[in-house]
Amino acid sequence: MQKVKSGTKIILTKLKQPSSLILLVVLISLTMFRLGLSAKAPYFINLFAGYDDQLFIHYSEEILKGNWLGSYSTKALSKGISYSLFMVWANKLHLSYGVFLGLFNILASSTAALALRPLVNNRWILTFIYAFFLYSPVTLTSEYNTRIYRNTLVVPAVLLVVACLVGLYFRRNGKLRSFILWSVGLSLIFPFYWYIREDSLWLLPLLIVGLLIIAGSVVFENVPNFRVKNFHASLKKFYFTKKQLAKLMLCFLPFILLFSTTKVLTNINQEHYGIALVNDRTGGAFGNVSKHLIRMDDGTELNETNSKVWVSRKALEKAEAVSPTLKSIAKNIDWIYHGSPWSGGEDIAGDIIFWALRDAAAQAGYYKDGEKTENFWHKVDSELSEAYKKGQLKQKKEIYLTATGDGKLRKDLPLVGEFMKSGFSYNVFYKDYGQGMDGTLGPKEDVAKAEELLNYSFSENWQDVNAPRTEPNKVNKSAEISNRIIQLYRDTTPIWLVLCVLGFLIIVVGSLFSKVQLKIFRGMLLIILGLMLSYLIFLIGVSWFCSWAPERKELFMMTYTGAGVPVIQWIEALAFVGIIQLPIIAKKINKK
């Protein structure tokens, strides 16, 4: 009790100092101003987008009614649950969507700054890092801020995952209490991040390798001079404590919670829909059927001449010929090309064919009962698998990255490179980021329901389809300020990048020659390289997927690459901190 009183007295004494009071005012001002921008931002939604914006509103409304995700349909288990839960939590807490989103961004940015506390003792530098993440242009731009869609959560979630991993790494040999806090934080945010989108896999290698390195460091925590080349000599000095055992177990906690979350979701879906799946579009039997169709050689040269088409009409005809079960809905598949909104008779580009195929099955009477639908696709999967084994179907000679993603020929790789270049420009230079001109679309009654769910009014930008506006939407004050902040980041990017390159060089040199700070420099270099590799995986994956539509390159890369920004900014922040590690600078500014 005496220690607590002493600690409180020290904190109060520090707060009374003029410099501390000024810092506190700056911190509160930065935080409240950012929260205000979030609360007053011009949010918009497209309630005609039944597979996107409107879908998550529907999920949330059904959850609030106690109906889980609603009746089983082609949409029920097609996308992740995290975003809808986020909206439900905001509603239950009686907070507006904008305020709750602002609080989430504040949590992510403050956690990122605190993660670097072992490296930076200067509170003003930490405040700068906090503000750098807090006002990131990607969190102010329309697609990742004001659109009521799951992309808004991707950036703060990625920022939090990396922050907790970095925080855990730099506290790996510290006190158990601190280790527990960062491990629990990582364990809570990772499952939430995982179920925001269906393409969250790209961050998993970083987490696995990072936690393995942390676990290895914990194991040999009591052997300070451990070297791989002196492994046998180190083993003689090795001993293990309960504290190390606890830390080692905590390294596995993120995976345990992800597994547990998945198990809970599959059990809930089993109870409501009769199928033990989290997602019946990318997983389960339909996911397997998609894989078979994507890889199928349709007997034409279409994949040589038109890389836009993932699954041709000819491929579906070949599949029908070897799968009696798929043949049973042949007339509905024909409807896709003659009568549906998906096609006017031409082959369908990209992954859109799979949404159309699910609609065709629904028209044939499926997607009303989960178990019946899963059994249907399971039979199709078995019949296609057997046809491949017998040689009735052959695979295209292409390169594949994922099970349900399109393949590429060597001639397609330069186009993927062009997409990567475009995505890099958006992530590093905040190209075309901005907000304020988008309008809300949807029937009046649906808009009213969405407003009730979100505790937000769309009256300022709602477009009534029966009486459309002739004048463009006005950019409100919050949007004007946000756009100025985005422009400030753009204008200072060249100077900032020079500083970051300098910091990276210092880290590289320090990891080779430093004696006093060798572990710190090597740790920072290790994390930066891990983040660079993760970003490369991410950028290749997004570019690979999006390159089926060259004419939409800019739109797609702006829309789908936002998750790369917090990774790039983490690399930049660590490189900046590398400058501070120089002894001549550290002595002057690293003061508590």
C-alpha to C-alpha distance for 203 and 165, rounded to whole angstroms: 11
**569/532 Cα distance (integer angstroms):** 11
CA distances from 44 to 33, 95, 104 (A): 21, 18, 19
pLDDT on residue 4 = 47
The closest alpha carbon to 158, from 531, 539, 559, 525, belongs to: 531
The SS3 call for residue 399 is strand
pLDDT of amino acid 404: 78
CA distance 387 to 376: 17
Give the largest CA-CA distance in the chain: 81
pLDDT score recorded for residue 147: 95
Distance CA 279, CA 183 (A): 27
C-alpha to C-alpha distance for 94 and 453, rounded to whole angstroms: 10
Neighbouring residues of 297: CB distance < 8 A, sequence distance ≥ 6: 303, 393, 394, 395, 396
Strands (E), 409-463: 440-441, 462-463
Rounded distance between C-alpha atoms, residue 428 and residue 493, angstroms = 8
**In this predicted structure, what is the pLDDT of residue 226?**
55
What residue spans define the domains of the chain? 18-267+439-589, 284-403
CB 90 within 8 A of CB 455: yes
Q: Taking a C-beta distance cutoff of 8 angstroms, is the pair 187, 253 a contact?
A: yes
22-31 own/partner pairs: CB under 8 Å, 24+ apart: 23/123, 23/124, 23/127, 26/127, 27/127, 27/130, 30/127, 30/130, 30/131, 30/134, 31/106, 31/134
Say which residues have a Cβ less than 8 Å from residue 221's Cβ, sequence separation at least 6: 172, 173, 244, 247
Q: Which two tokens stand for residue 184?
A: 């629990």
pLDDT per residue rounded down to tens, the chain (592 residues): 455 455 555 555 655 677 788 999 999 999 999 999 999 999 999 999 889 999 999 999 999 999 999 999 999 999 999 999 999 999 999 999 999 999 999 999 999 999 999 999 899 999 999 999 999 999 999 999 999 999 999 999 999 999 999 999 999 988 999 999 999 999 999 999 999 999 899 999 999 999 999 998 888 777 666 555 555 555 555 667 888 899 999 999 999 999 999 999 999 999 999 999 999 999 999 999 999 999 999 888 877 777 889 999 999 999 999 999 999 999 999 999 998 999 888 999 889 999 999 999 999 999 999 999 999 999 999 999 999 999 999 998 888 888 778 888 888 899 999 999 999 999 999 999 999 888 899 998 999 999 999 999 998 888 777 666 667 778 889 999 999 999 999 999 999 999 999 999 999 999 998 888 888 999 999 999 999 999 999 999 999 999 988 999 999 999 999 999 999 999 999 999 999 887 767 666 765 4
pTM: 0.93
For residues 340 and 356, the answer to whether their CB atoms sit within 8 Å is yes
What pLDDT, on a 0 to 100 scale, did the predictor assign at position 467? 67
Q: How far apart are CA 194 and CA 81, in angstroms?
A: 10
| 435 touches 141 (CB < 8 A) | yes
Q: What single-letter amino acid sits at 120? A: V
Please give the pLDDT value at position 232. 58
Query: Residue 454 is encoded by which pair of tokens?
Result: 């979100």
Which residue, among 90, 98, 96, 45, has the nearest Cα to 478 in the 3D structure?
Answer: 98
Q: How many Å apart are CA 79 and CA 56, to the nearest integer?
A: 9
**CB distance 87 to 111 below 8 Å:** no
Cβ neighbours of 18 (radius 10 Å): 7
Per-residue burial over 326-364, b if 16 or more Cβ lie within 10 Å, else e, is bbebeebbbbbbeebebbeeebbbbbebbbbbbbbbbbb
Q: Contact at 8 Å (CB) between 526 and 170?
A: no
CB atoms within 10 A of CB 273: 22
Between CA 246 and CA 252 the distance in angstroms is 10
Gap between the Cα atoms of 2 and 102, Å rounded: 38
Cα–Cα distance measured from residue 124 to residue 146, given in angstroms and rounded to the nearest whole number: 30
Q: Which of 144, 143, 151, 158 is nearest to 194 (CA)?
A: 158
Q: What is the pLDDT of residue 11?
A: 55
